[in-house]
């Protein structure tokens, strides 16, 4: 496969497609290349996934490789563990990340631990594909929860922000011998292809985007803003507006929660000496605290003039969109956080 981490370096014949199409294409190419790849979950076959990100796979590969299941997450996640131990490379879809708790025992005791407990003799090439994020769907359908999975040792955790990365990171996830939690954002899945302003052009051929590399999606000199998934687009718009306030923001799309690409973050902080984390997930015990503490531990207190974070303060997401916008980072609230950071330096 072609290896690249730069959404601007499209190869031949790029198209403007949306994230669902990009993920489905990444899966199709992976299944064509390796007949050990199987897709399992609720409505992944006949319906093609609740957001269309497995559309066309049943017709291409048949019901033995694209399997609809009952509402039985614990059962089919356990099935994926057995398949992986027997040499298959299962991709399972947990429709919404909010409900992964019903199979969490299989995720954190089996999927995550078996490679360690076997002394590295047993790989667990399982992709747990799921959707998170806020779209006005209330408390039980609006969480991101990547901080939860990041806390559990043994899992790679990724959350792409654009079509190019989604196709390439899905290909890399399927090829990985480590278990990967692949968190799509519902708001991005519903976005039209032409509305993406970066990473919008997707090559037809197979390629990988590495699972452990962040991307600088906007260069800047005054403040390092680290974010991911659905918040990247809002951060870019806010960063452009912040120029009027005299703050030149460098925006980093983290892409990978585990592992964190400290090299890219450190290079940016050496330039800006200021870190703002924007995270749609809960702030308490989560990714934002890990990034700030990790930066201080690695680069030293004296290397930073400012640290701050902006995210869900620890409140179940309300059903009303007007209330959701009060606690989920958006363009206006991110811009306010940037201006505060500029004033406090």
Tell how strand 89-94 and strand 66-68 pair up.
unpaired
C-alpha distances in Å from residue 260, one per residue of 156, 176, 232, 251, 328: 10, 17, 16, 15, 23
141 flagged as catalytic: yes
Catalytic residue among 141, 185, 234, 310: 141
**Residue of 25, 42, 73, 184 marked active site:** 73
Token representation of residue 235: 């951060």
DSSP 250: E
82 contact partners, CB below 8 Å, separation of at least 6: none
Neighbours of 315 (CB within 10 A): 12
Q: Where are the beta strands (DSSP E) in the chain?
A: 2-3, 15-16, 37-41, 66-68, 89-94, 127-132, 156-158, 180-185, 201-202, 207-208, 215-218, 223-227, 249-253, 256-258, 274-282, 306-312
Active site residue 73: yes
Q: How far is CA 80 from CA 60, 76, 134, 177, 193, in A?
A: 21, 6, 28, 14, 32
Nearest to 128 by CA among 39, 190, 66, 210: 39
> How many angstroms separate the most distant Cα atoms in the chain?
59
Catalytic residues: 73, 141
């Amino acid at each position: 496969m072609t290896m690249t981490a730069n959404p601007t370096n499209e190869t031949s014949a790029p198209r403007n497609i949306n994230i669902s199409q990009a993920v489905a294409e990444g899966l199709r190419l992976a299944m064509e290349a390796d007949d050990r790849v199987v897709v399992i979950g609720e409505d992944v076959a006949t319906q093609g996934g609740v957001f269309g990100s497995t559309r066309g796979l049943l017709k291409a590969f048949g019901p033995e490789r694209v399997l609809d299941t009952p509402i039985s997450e614990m059962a089919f996640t356990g099935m994926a563990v057995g398949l992986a131990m027997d040499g298959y490379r299962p991709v399972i879809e947990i429709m919404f990340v909010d409900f992964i708790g019903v199979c969490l025992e299989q995720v954190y005791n089996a999927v995550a631990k078996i490679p360690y407990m076997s002394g590295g003799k047993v790989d667990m090439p399982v992709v747990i594909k799921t959707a998170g994020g806020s779209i006005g769907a209330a408390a039980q359908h609006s969480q991101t929860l990547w901080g939860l999975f990041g806390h559990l040792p043994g899992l790679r955790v990724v959350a792409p922000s654009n079509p190019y990365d989604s196709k390439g990171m899905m290909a890399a996830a399927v090829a990985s011998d480590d278990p990967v939690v692949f968190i799509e954002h519902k708001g991005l899945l519903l976005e039209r292809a032409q509305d993406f302003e970066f990473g919008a052009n997707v090559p037809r051929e197979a390629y990988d985007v590495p699972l452990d590399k962040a991307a600088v999606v906007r260069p800047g000199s005054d403040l390092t803003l680290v974010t991911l998934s659905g918040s990247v687009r809002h951060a870019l718009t806010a960063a452009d507006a912040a120029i009027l306030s005299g703050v030149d923001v460098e925006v980093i799309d983290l892409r990978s929660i585990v592992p964190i690409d400290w090299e890219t973050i450190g290079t940016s902080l050496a330039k800006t000496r200021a870190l703002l984390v924007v995270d749609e997930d809960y702030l308490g015990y989560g990714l934002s605290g890990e990034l700030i503490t990790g930066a201080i531990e690695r680069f030293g207190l004296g290397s930073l003039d400012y640290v701050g974070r902006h995210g869900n303060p620890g409140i179940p997401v309300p059903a009303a969109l007007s209330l959701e916008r009060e606690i989920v980072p958006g363009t206006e609230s991110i811009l306010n956080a940037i201006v505060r950071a500029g004033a406090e330096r």
